[in-house]
Structure 1
Amino acid sequence: MTARQWARDLSMGAKFAFTGGREGWTRVLLTAVGVGLGVALLLLTTAIPDALSVRHQRDEARSDYTYSQNRPAKAANTFVISDIDTTFKDKEIRGRLVEPEGPRAALPPGVGAYPAVGDMVVSPALKKLLESGDGELLRKRLPYRIAGTIGEDGLIGSQELAYYAGAQGLASYMDGWKTARLTEYGSPNHTPEARDPVLILLVLVVFVVLLMPVAVFITAAVRFGGERRDRRLAALRLVGSDSRMTRRIAAGEALAGSLLGLVFGALFFLIGREAAGSVEVVGISVFPSYLNPTPALAALVAVAVPAAAVLVTLLALRGVVIEPLGVVRTAKPSRRRLWWRLVLPVAGLAMLAPMIGKGRGDGNFNQFLVSGGVILLLVGVTALLPWIVEAVVARLGNGSVSWQLAVRRLQLSSGTAARTVNGISVAVAGAIALQMLFAGVQGDYTKASKNDLDRAQIQVQLSHGVATDPAVADFLATRGVTRAVALSGANVSATSHTASDGPQQSSEVTIGNCASLREVAKLPTCRDGDVFVVRGVDYDTDTPALAKSGKKLFMDSSQGAEPSSEVRWTVPQGLKTVHAIKDPTGMEHGGFLLTRGAVPAAVAKKAGTQVYVSLDESVRDARDQVRNTAARVDRLANVTTWTRNDVSKRFASIRTGLLIGAVCVLALIGASLLVSQLEQLRERRKLLSALVAFGTRRRTLSLSVLWQTVVPITLGLLLSLAVGLTLGTVLLKMTATTVGIDWPSVLTMTGMGAAIAVAVAVLSMPPLLRMMRPEGLRTE
């Protein structure tokens, strides 16, 4: 067999595909659409690494956090910048106050010139939000005039909300962590976090699980219209072609459909690429320019898809006898063998077994073994499902007419029924395993918050020098606020911090009114001017030596590295001893408790303050009302909304990526099932019309089609459940995590798969009813 003969036969098959009349074109288009959907998702997947890389690079390029202790002096190339990030409803907004200190101050990426004081440059998405009716509340928080927009180079996504506002006098805030003087943007000295082997495992499994259903669907799409094609091939045998030549011609037809599918896939990808710039999925958005498939991976897709089309067709025709007078497909087909189908999942388990128990302590997981093992287990689903469907439907008993029609059809073409649901079975099996893995390890990346949400729901950190009492009054006057208490802090030491570099006795000072101090200690009586000393706090070892009446101490309210002015303070007579209780953040305050009347004026003016706010959750936009008040009281206020649990950002980003990928894969599965269902109905159009002509009720035929979907999908989901639980158990053992089954998530994944199948069956009913008309018997 020469390459020339192969090329001739393949090209002849491609020619037949495009010149075979309406039937040929319909089959090619169905194959092309199916393959195109899969190719588009594969191209999107190959573009994801580049998109993530570009997002990271642009985020690093605009970074304005310094990891160096050396602060530059004011110069012609310096600027001062303050982090004033905020949240509006459930959307994060990146905000910066900027003040250039010289003509050569570096510009942030995407910004052509620094905004003047009172102006701001905004991202296109933020400008759109501010100009809409939904942005009325946010406009009160950002009282700046829009002077321009941030270019693409300065944003990590098309829907990102960000702005730079011009300000002055920022240098006075540099003793806090939110404000810094810099000479450039970017973080070249930032040391990346160590790689977590469990998170790497999660990423690997996510990619394999999301891509496997796509590959399964593409292999099924190239077999659309198989029965009609085989009857056409019988005619070729009649005019003299041998069986091998006939199979090569059939492979050529599939090759033509797959090549056209590559074109469709590229078009679908380009359309989706442009549409990606206007959507946001789970809080993540990208610019179309980010989605550039890696050339090597795109070339691999372009080669692998046509090659798979040829290979799948040749393998599918091995069990079909094509003779000049017809196709022998249904004359007592040989039973499918089970042994080699079990080899695949067993081999997958064997590849994963060496890594069981490694957890975090024994280095990274072998990426090739992980990928190979998971792939073999999921491929095992596609191999086992046809055998299971054949074995079960062969034993199904009698029933209604619709049931008998469905069962007989499944008995005649169980392989076709299995191929239809293979993609969804693989997707559900992988999703179940991932849900088990996420549920098992999330305890390592999710910690219960120590904050007491029954005492407060929002914490507002005010800058040093902000008047406390007026600020608290403003918060109490805010709509939706039921309570607000403020606590300020200072340090006290036996000697000045400038006198010696050695260790010295020191303690903390908590400042507030009587109601606020009762948040941190049990006070018997309290009035303005009182001073208390706290006993019984484990970490507080120096206070007993400092809490002596008449002792001269140094009190300092500065929390930063800038030089501060200390105030001499004499411990008063009549100290009252109290015992600490945990504050709303779950911490105990030791040292001294001072009512505001006992605080030196110089310290009171500089003390930083924490305000704990309680909300009436029934008031609409209560949190945003508090954020607006905080921005009005202090432009550098840091507002933190408390939650019950704190989740690792890296773990959350992987989970977000899974959700985005799952949405795309589920959309593909739904579309692929619908295309496959329509293709099968088209092949049975004459049979359906004949049954209606003989008096079969349309309701009976509709129910039979529904049963033909329900039976294989039920078997597929049961197999998915078994494989998914097995894979999830192995993955949990690999991470040295206690094996547990998150049944709500498992049943949710299974239910989603069933819902997709039922939705496809319902959507196929209108075309089915049209195919039952007598016109379906017309032929040429």
Structure 2
Amino acid sequence: MSAIDSPSVALGGGGRHAPEDGPVQAGRLRRWATEIGLGVRLALSGGREGLLRTALTAVGVGLGVAVLLLSVSIPTMLDARSDRTAARDDDRYGGDELPAGDTTVLTLNLATSFHGKNVRGRLVRADGAHPVLPPGVQAMPAPGTMLVSPALRDLLASSDGALLRDRMPGTVAGTIGKAGLSGPNELVFYAQRGDLAFGQPQVQRIDSYGSRSVHRPLDPFLLMLVVVIFVVLLMPVAMFVAAATRFGGEQRDRRLAAVRLVGADGAMTRRIAGGEAVISATLGLLAGGVFFLAGRQFVEVFEIADLSVYGSDVRPPLPLLALLVVAVPVAALAMTLVAMRRVVVEPLGVVRRATSSTHRRLWWRVLVPLAGVGLLAPLTGKHGEFNPWQAVGGVSLLLLGVALLLPWVFDRLVGRLGAGGSVSWQMAVRRLQLSGGSSVRAVGAIAVAAAGTIALQMLFAAAESEFTINTGQDPTRAQAVTLLTVSPITTAKDAAGIDAKLRASGVTSVRTYRRDIASISDDDFVGVRVGDCDVLREMAALERCADGDVFVLDRPDLIGRTVRMGDPSATPQGPQWTVPATAHRAQARKDPWGQDVDGILVTPGAAPAARAEPTFESYVHLDPAAGLDAEERLRNAAMAISPAMDVSILRSKVRDSTFMSIRRGLFAGSAVTLLLVGLSLLVGTIEQLRERRRTLAALVAFGTRRSTLGWSILWQTLLPVVLGLVLATGLGLGLGAMLLATVDVPFHADVTGIAIVCGIAGGVVLLVTTASLPALWRLMRPDGLRFE
């Protein structure tokens, strides 16, 4: 207690005073400042114990602040990515045809994928001497070379990128700058190709890069998910920050009792405690800023929800940053003053250290979740009229109700536990009955996270079906489909050549047919598909088929009629062809794409002449044993045929990409929140052990087994967690039911999800207990009995 022995600190009593004039009021303010300064001195110069407690508080607050800063930076990160993506946009389809000029550029989209990651590629050729350049590019790549993103350069240089190297249209000659990339892990390349010409399939001419990004509103269900995710992930973090400001509360109370012993009154002790809390929170803010700036340097290494960001993108908005800077010290001060109201600090000790006969009031704790229900109830049944701010308030109040009701439930149940059971159980129960408040505060964050996660599990289970699309594709009939319009840059000009070139390793069979159009009049035309009997059977039910046969699917009036091949508006017009009078009628079936087939099916022996640039479609079968590499080899073979050849992998079901991104973001955020909550439990457990080190050492000296004390620590952590999870399950199910009603989805309890959440929480308890054992063994040494 060296800080309170200083003769320079004046301790004054408080009490009733006569009305003061200005000088008296100024004197009171100076005295208050002195008392708050004493709290600051106690926090910073209270010896090794005081410094350690202040450091623990600062680190705890700092970790929470760093997570909050990262969370409020998410909109800025997404805006920065969106701005860079819009600045490089080169899609000009549907616009007026541009004449060639000194600055115009021909471009061909070469978007592909590699092992599930998108690769953005462009083939370019300049029309003039001063072509427009995409952001991040200083000069056009030379013929046969390409400019790549740093991530793509590293991938191509690694052994993992061997298959992708075979697909690339040139050698690496440089890298693309940050301005031309959405994020540091994006795979992008620009390559020059001299034989590009306007009019070739998918080739377009541009004279500028960039577009105005358009933000489409989220589906109300997805918006609900985003809102609940943010509340669920940030509330435990905020609770962790609030709990961190009260680390070492028992040491603080004993120190304040010593201050009372030398003459301070109750009001002064509260101001001293407030000074300690504010300086600790302020140091925590500084530590959080340091953690945030240090962690921002590593953000480019990670990729969340298929998104990567630059460290410079992680910038909290100034208004939210200012709010956080003010809110953390104010919250620390408020938490301390509220805690001090329940503590009677006397010169000879602290009353809270004994069992209190007073009971926590229930009525106001119930009002908080009821207010949340009141906010959410008007939103039910209004699918499409979702108010996010009202939902934020309702969800926050319901989750806050978990934290508020948990102490009341804890007091009622733990207070009634008897003295039976093992020694470790009795020690744990008695410790929780005497001072279980710190344990409940630490567990409150887990309970809130669990309640929110249970509600989210219910939402995601309901959204799974709503955002899972049945494509109608049949992967049992073909695993991939390729589409190609022949052009001068195509190496295979007919179906046989395409079949042969696509038979890469892992491809078991390829069936190709030609697609054409037959014009009956200026506004009437039908599709014509030319292929062998095997591929035609994928489009119609054919009882018999031989080369030379023709089948009419839905236009029997065309039998024996003369049509003109090709687009009726094309110049020159295509040749005439007469549908044979011997053509058969056939029943159409859906193709492997899941699309309805109509028109005319023709075998090669009766086929009309092909257009100059025909279109071919291929059904490809892949060897399941080859895995994902078979898909990559197929894409490589397609690239060798033509850069414009499209390859699609068939899927019977696909999930909405936005929904999947939100889900992956939840998993990433949950991992961070769980880590923080686990750290909160660990720090709180170690702090309690340190405060009881002499008691622990004395118990060991009197023959208590170390394993008994270890089990006692486990019960002390597990019992509040179990009570918290029971309460969280009830309120989580209620919150989930309210949210499902908001989006007009029937109630369904995800039992498996609830079991997983509870199992994870139990695992956190076991990990925390295991991690605290080394500190427990160290504190039970005989030198822990030494006291000065």
Q: Number of residues paired by the alignment?
A: 754
Structure 2 matches for 1:151-550, cutoff 5 A? Answer: 151-172=177-198, 174=200, 176=201, 178-188=202-212, 192-333=215-356, 334-360=358-384, 363=385, 365-397=386-418, 398-465=420-487, 466-476=493-503, 478-495=504-521, 497=522, 504-535=523-554, 543-545=555-557, 547-549=558-560
Secondary structure of the residue aligned to 2:174 is: strand
- Once residues 311 and 564 of structure 1 are traced to their aligned partners in structure 2, the CA distance between those partners, rounded to angstroms, is 83
* 1:113–1:524 CA distance, 2 compared to 1 (3 A): same
- Taking the aligned partners of 2:754 and 2:605, their CA distance within structure 1 comes to 60
2:566 aligned to 546, 553, 556, which one?
Answer: 556
1:460-489 Cα offsets, whole Å, 9 max, x none, are 22233543222212323x222222222332
Asked if residue 104 in structure 1 is aligned to residue 121 in structure 2, the reply is: no
Q: What's the secondary structure of 1:81's corresponding residue?
A: strand
1:372 alignment partner AA: G
C-alpha root-mean-square deviation of aligned residues, in Å? 1.9
- Counterpart residue number, 1:500: none
- Which deviations, in whole Å up to 9, do the C-alpha atoms of 1:655-678 show, x marking residues without a partner? 233233222222222222222221
Deviations 1:235-280 (A, max 9, x none): 0001111111101111211111111111110111011100001222
Letter in 2 for 1:180: Q
1:5 CA drift (Å): 4.3
Cα shift at 1:173: 5.3
Query: Match of 1:501?
Result: none
The answer as to whether partners of 1:509 and 1:593 remain within 8 angstroms in 2 is: yes
Q: Pick which of 120-129 and 68-77 moved more.
A: 68-77
Flag the 1:238–1:127 CA change in 2: closer, same or farther, 3 A.
Answer: same
Q: Deviations over 1:692-734 (max 9, x none)?
A: 0110000000000011111111111111111111111101101
Q: Which residue of 1 aligns with 2:10?
A: none
Aligned residue identity for 2:709: L
Q: What amino acid maps onto 2:633 in structure 1?
A: Q
Listed one character per residue, the Cα deviations across residues 299-344 of structure 1 (whole Å, up to 9, x for unaligned) are 1111100110111011011111100111111333111121111111
Distance 1:661 1:557 in 2: 54
SS, match of residue 209 in structure 2 = coil
Residue identity matched to 2:368: L
Answer whether contact 1:71 1:182 (CA < 8 A) is retained.
no
Q: Alpha carbons of 1:173 and 1:445: their partners in 2 closer, same or farther (altered >3 Å)?
A: farther
Aligned equivalents of 1:447, 1:29: Cα separation in 2: 52
How far does residue 635 in structure 1 lie from its aligned partner after superposition?
1.5
| Other structure's SS at 2:505 match | coil
CA distance in 1, matches of 2:775, 2:572: 80
Query: 1:557 Cα shift?
Result: 6.8
Q: What amino acid is the match of 1:376?
A: L
Amino acid at match of 1:663: A
Offset, 1:3:
4.8
SS state of the match for residue 329, structure 1? Answer: helix
**Partner-residue secondary structure (3-state), 1:405:** helix
Q: 1:167 to 1:739 in 2, by over 3 A?
A: same
Query: Amino acid of the residue matched to residue 98 of structure 2?
Result: P
Letter in 1 for 2:775: P
8 Å Cα contact 2:149/2:188 also seen in 1: yes
Give distance in 2, aligned partners of 1:209 and 1:562: 60
Shift of 1:195: 4.7
For structure 1, the residue ranges without an aligned partner over 5 or more in a row are 498-503, 536-542
Tell me the alpha carbon deviations over residues 360-396 of structure 1, each in whole angstroms, 9 at most, x when there is no partner. Answer: 2xx3x22331111111111111101111112111222
Q: Equivalents in 2 of 1:332, 1:25: separation in Å?
A: 29
Where do 5+ consecutive residues of structure 2 fail to align? 1-24, 488-492
- What are the within-5 Å matches in structure 2 for residues 75-94 of structure 1? 75-94=101-120
Measured in 2, the distance between the counterparts of 1:470 and 1:650 equals 39
Quote the sequence identity (%): 46
Contact 1:567 1:602 in 2 (8 A): no
Q: Rate the CA distance shift 1:180–1:746 in 2: closer, same or farther, 3 A.
A: farther
| Greater mean alpha carbon deviation, residues 207-216 or residues 572-581 | 572-581
SS in structure 2 at match of 1:643: coil
User: Once structures 1 and 2 are overlaid, which stretch shifts more, 56-65 or 606-615?
Assistant: 606-615
> What is the one-letter code of the residue matched to 2:149?
S
Instruction: Measure, in 1, the Cα distance between the counterparts of 2:167 and 2:231.
Output: 45
More displaced stretch, 290-299 vs 565-574: 565-574
Query: Which amino acid in structure 1 is aligned with residue 526 of structure 2?
Result: S
Q: Within 2, Cα distance between the matches of 1:526 and 1:644?
A: 29
Structure 1 position 563, deviation (Å): 5.9
Paired amino acid for 1:494? I
Return the alpha-carbon distance in structure 2 between the equivalents of residues 258 and 562 of structure 1.
75
Is the contact made by 1:557 and 1:608 (CA closer than 8 Å) also made in structure 2? no
Q: 2:520 touches 2:564 (CA, 8 Å); kept in 1?
A: yes
1:766 aligns with 774
Bigger shift: residues 525-534 or 625-634 = 525-534
Question: Structure 1 residues 387, 626: CA separation in 2 closer, same or farther (over 3 Å shift)?
Answer: same
Tell me the alpha carbon deviations over residues 600-630 of structure 1, each in whole angstroms, 9 at most, x when there is no partner: 3432x52222222222222242221211111
Pairwise CA distance, 1:22: 0.3
- Greater alpha carbon shift after TM alignment, 617-626 vs 762-771: 617-626
Please give the alpha-carbon distance, in whole angstroms, between the structure 2 residues aligned to 1:462 and 1:597.
22
**Structure 1 CA distance for aligned equivalents of residues 737 and 766 of structure 2:** 29
3-state SS in 1 of match to 2:97? coil
Q: Secondary structure at the match of 1:588?
A: coil
Superposed displacement of residue 10, structure 1: 2.1
Of residues 4-13 and 689-698 in structure 1, the stretch that sits farther from structure 2 once superposed is 4-13
CA distance in 2, matches of 1:467, 1:314: 83
Cα distance, 1:444 vs structure 2: 3.0
C-alpha displacement of 1:565? 4.7
Per the alignment, residue 20 of structure 2 pairs with: none
- Letter of the structure 1 residue corresponding to residue 35 of structure 2: D
**Range moving further from structure 2, 625-634 or 19-28:** 625-634
**SS of corresponding position for 2:197:** helix
Residue 505 of structure 1 and its aligned partner are, at CA, apart by 2.3
Contact 1:80 1:180 in 2 (8 A): yes
State how far apart, in whole Å, the 2-side matches of 1:97 and 1:624 are: 20
Q: In the aligned structure 1, how far is the partner of 2:162 from the partner of 2:416?
A: 66
* Paired residues of 1:66 and 1:187 also in contact (CA < 8 A): no
